[in-house]
Structure 1
Amino acid sequence: MNDTSLTDNIMTPRERRATWGLGAVFSLRMLGMFMVLPVLTTYGMALQGASESLIGLAIGIYGLMQALFQVPFGLLSDRVGRKPLIVIGLLMFVLGSVIAALSTSIWGIILGRALQGAGAISAAVMALLSDLTREQNRTKAMAFIGISFGVTFAIAMVLGPIVAHAWGLQSLFWCMALLASLGIVITLTLIPNAASHALNRESAIVRGSIRQVLGNSRLVKLNIGIMCLHILLMSSFVALPRVLEQAGLPAESHWKVYLYTMLVSFVCVLPFIIYAEVKRQMKRVFVGCIIVLFAAEVVLWMAGSQFWPIVAGVQLFFLAFNIMEALLPSLISKEAPAGYKGTAMGVYSTTQFIGVAIGGSMGGALFQFHGAAWVFAAGALLCALWLIVGVSMKEPPYLSSLRIALPDDALSDAALAQKIRIHPGVAEAIVVPEERSAYVKIDRQKTNRQQLEALIGQA
């Protein structure tokens, strides 16, 4: 794309189309995926052959398939193109949704969920967003995707019980098929075509670099964190819908609890995020969230069939969960070495879906053989173990990642990386001549993109 002004921070119409379009595709797919979470345990038990363990497997197998295909799909998009791979992934999601919608057996639901998960398009979506936006606007575009994820999760938790009560569980899967089909239409008609597929290490997985990311102990602790968070989410939602029913709230009214707790948590999230980022207290907020999650699991464990203690536990859970969902990607960005942010995020997403797989399967087995109290007790134990890891973490470096395109004359400067490194506010810098790029980690309180571009221009 033509970039006439590297210092122009206003999105072009093309960039806005790409951001809104890809955000819509991502959200429509996530909406369908999350709508089933609060209802499968209750409505799914009417399916032929259903049990709590198999319901948990149906929830978790989506994450297992995502974990298996996330990185391969991201690498494959470099060869076959971003949009074709996104369309293929969405078609797999549609096929899985139709199979689940037509099935009256839990095994059909499990097969459908597996096919849904196999269409792992997240990495391709982020790579295409990188192709279609300029460096100075990419952070805003990716932040929009992140915000859309949180909003979509909240809408799905409320909408799922309403749709399932009105038209049945199969209607949810027909909705998923329709939403994914709409995503295909948006991909083919609204989202612009990328003129080229330049490798951007800020958003794409770099071949051969996964081992380096896995060997970074600070990143490993964050990956353990996102895995634990989604184990807690999935295992809790295997048991929670049935617990609410036992407390006297019919399944068709569960959305009221989710709506109330989500609204309260969203209002409370922003001050904590500002405190963590502006006051540079991310570790304190991070550890505090683990403690709140521990408290939530203990409250749910001890609540039994008492309605208001259950609501209190759900409220504590969503408060900490939503803060963590915002904090963890930011922490990954801060801790990732220069030039490896995309790979670090790819590994992060994979461990997130491993957590989904473990949480669904573990929660279902515990619920079937020992009851809901054991699910929440196991969650509390997991939080206690996670807290040990969290306390051992170091305060992250408050750094931002940048990719700066290099002009031809700068590529011939063998000392360019060193010149960038000694600039005030620069913590790391690598130059990759074959990508015509410099990858830099900076403290935004001391320097910015414009200063570094000026430095490179002078060099």
Structure 2
Amino acid sequence: MNSTEFRAAYSLAGIFSLRMLGLFMIYPVFTIFAQQHLVGATPITIGLALGAYGLAQAVFQIPFGLASDRVGRKKMIAIGLLIFAVGSVVAALSDSIWGVIAGRLLQGGGAVSSVILALNADLTLEENRNKSMAIIGMTIGLAFAIALVLGPLLNGWIGVPGIFGFTAVLALAGVPVLYKVTPEPAAAYSHRDTQAVPAMFWTVLGDPELRRFDFGIFALHAMLAASFIALPELLRGTLDIGERQEWMVYLPVLAVSFVVMIPAVILAEAKRLMKPVFIGSVALLLVTQVVLAAYHNSWLELVVLLTLFFAAFNVMEASLPSLISKAAPADGKGTAMGVYSSAQFFGIFAGGMLGGWAYGADGVSGVFWVGSAIAVVWLGVAATMPQPRFARTHLLAVGALDDDEANALARRIEAEAGVFEASVVSADRVAYIKFDGKLTSADHLDQFAAAQAHAGES
């Protein structure tokens, strides 16, 4: 990656992460605050407030991405950040649960995730795009971990309204980063590896393996959102700690869970044990939910179970995008990821609603029994998955080709040993290739790049 690509990746990762940081900081502290301070707060409305942004995000993220092709990437990102900031201010100033719900819906309405990824694609060469995406992905994961630790700390100093206000400041801080630090793209292009293509929706939605993984991310984030309705009370009741001390639990739990995750992901990817690691992680999520539902009076048990839960959560969070990438059509990865992201945000909404309902019906135990039911269904869905093919994705700039030349080049690439699939889109001037990294290499496939793209060239 050159200096421009590094600057693009890190600045966009920063904007993405500042926004995600604000969204997740209230997770560990909102339930108790709402019960004590917000007019009209009930278990159901608290769950709705936690999940509302997921509903709006799921609805608007693909339209935002498509609109950016016409309006411009930076303009749509700036609009989204401003909407997000307005929603944060609305939530900060509200003294009723319905005001917070309205604010959370506005936060989700600033759905810039897909636009950020599209701008990143505009600013990186095809062969470096996976590297820049990895930088963005790592910072998002780090933002989530920091948010769970920082939320309780900030709550002790400035309260939940202050956290919402701080979230607005973070969103607004992203605007000068966008215009002063992020490079200006020469032009906005359609990128099938990062953007949704309307013509591909039915292909993606009709694929049973992609649907299996979409359900997986839906279930994973439904369990997460539901759990955070019960966890604040569980931590205070079992560990007898105040709001300023909750970070002391989340910090070691998340640190250890991350360490546990690393060898599991290595086994899944490098040793090609994805299916047993995947099913084992879903089973572990089920065990943690069942035990937390049935028995949660020991501080040691609680800490161990939370560590195991977040370890399995992190394995799934890392594995599911990889599985989507492996299963998606070569020229439909962006569409598959768009549907996948929508399923994730719908899961947050559903988890908030189901968790709130269960909390009202049966308290803390009810929430984790709902999580257990979700995990049982997911385990049944996961158990029937075939062994995934270990496909890597490679993009090549192939220059100007007509449709016949593009089809001929795709056939030549597919004839190479180890290539699963190749699609050359003449309008994009890009070849989208899926291959087995043990049978061929990206360097070998580079022979089909622009200089050698035309049929008959050696």
For Structure 1 versus Structure 2, the TM-score category normalised by the shorter chain is: over 0.9
Pick the aligned partner of 1:39 from 29, 32, 35. Answer: 29
* 1:290-369 correspondence runs (5 A): 290-369=282-361
Q: Give the AA of the match of 1:42.
A: I
Q: How far apart are 1:388 and its partner, in Å?
A: 0.7
Give the match for residue 105 of structure 1. Answer: 96
Is 1:257 aligned to 2:210, yes or no? no
Cα distance in 1 for partners of 2:40, 2:409 equals 65
Give the match for residue 209 of structure 2. Answer: 218
Bigger mean CA offset, 397-406 vs 21-30: 397-406
Cα distance in 2 for partners of 1:304, 1:426 equals 51
- Cα gap change, 1:213 to 1:112, in 2 (>3 Å): same
Pick the aligned partner of 2:229 from 224, 238, 255. Answer: 238
Give the match for residue 421 of structure 1. Answer: 414
Cα distance in 2 for partners of 1:16, 1:195 equals 16
Q: How far apart are 1:453 and its partner, in Å?
A: 2.5
Is 1:278 aligned to 2:270, yes or no? yes
Cα distance in 2 for partners of 1:375, 1:75 equals 37
Pick the aligned partner of 1:179 from 159, 170, 173. Answer: 170
Bigger mean CA offset, 97-106 vs 16-25: 97-106
8 Å Cα contact 1:32-1:179 kept in structure 2? yes
Q: How far apart are 1:411 and its partner, in Å?
A: 6.9
Cα distance in 2 for partners of 1:279, 1:305 equals 39
Q: How far apart are 1:408 and its partner, in Å?
A: 3.6
> Which secondary structure does the structure 2 equivalent of 1:209 belong to?
helix
Q: How far apart are 1:141 and its partner, in Å?
A: 0.5
8 Å Cα contact 2:354-2:370 kept in structure 1? no
Cα distance in 2 for partners of 1:388, 1:325 equals 19
Is 1:406 aligned to 2:398, yes or no? yes
- 1:2-55 CA-to-partner distances (Å, cap 9, x unmatched) read xxxxxxxxx111111101100000000000000011100111212122122111
Is 1:443 aligned to 2:436, yes or no? yes
- 1:91-148 CA-to-partner distances (Å, cap 9, x unmatched) read 0000000111111111111111010001111100000000001112111110111111
Give the match for residue 392 of structure 1. Answer: 384
Q: Give the AA of the match of 1:338.
A: A
- 1:135-180 CA-to-partner distances (Å, cap 9, x unmatched) read 1211111011111111111100000011011111101001100100
8 Å Cα contact 1:44-1:169 kept in structure 2? no
Q: Give the AA of the match of 1:166.
A: W
8 Å Cα contact 1:103-1:109 kept in structure 2? yes
Q: Give the AA of the match of 1:12.
A: N
- Structure 2 segments unaligned to the other structure (5+ residues): none
Bigger mean CA offset, 205-214 vs 307-316: 307-316
Identity of aligned residues (%): 45
Bigger mean CA offset, 273-282 vs 299-308: 299-308
Q: How far apart are 1:394 and its partner, in Å?
A: 0.7
Give the match for residue 157 of structure 1. Answer: 148
Cα distance in 1 for partners of 2:400, 2:118 equals 24
Q: How far apart are 1:450 and its partner, in Å?
A: 2.6
Cα distance in 2 for partners of 1:270, 1:305 equals 30
8 Å Cα contact 2:155-2:243 kept in structure 1? no
8 Å Cα contact 2:20-2:144 kept in structure 1? yes
Give the match for residue 6 of structure 1. Answer: none
Give the match for residue 3 of structure 1. Answer: none
> Which secondary structure does the structure 1 equivalent of 2:434 belong to?
strand
Q: How far apart are 1:338 and its partner, in Å?
A: 1.0
Cα distance in 1 for partners of 2:75, 2:353 equals 32
Q: How far apart are 1:246 and its partner, in Å?
A: 1.6
Q: Give the AA of the match of 1:31.
A: L
Cα distance in 2 for partners of 1:403, 1:455 equals 10
> Which secondary structure does the structure 2 equivalent of 1:245 belong to?
helix
Cα distance in 2 for partners of 1:306, 1:279 equals 37
> Which secondary structure does the structure 2 equivalent of 1:403 belong to?
strand
Instruction: State the number of aligned residues.
Output: 449
Is 1:268 aligned to 2:260, yes or no? yes
- 1:244-266 CA-to-partner distances (Å, cap 9, x unmatched) read 12212222211111111000011
8 Å Cα contact 2:392-2:437 kept in structure 1? yes
Give the match for residue 81 of structure 1. Answer: 72
Q: How far apart are 1:213 and its partner, in Å?
A: 0.3
* 1:10-159 correspondence runs (5 A): 11-45=1-35, 46-159=37-150
Q: How far apart are 1:86 and its partner, in Å?
A: 0.5
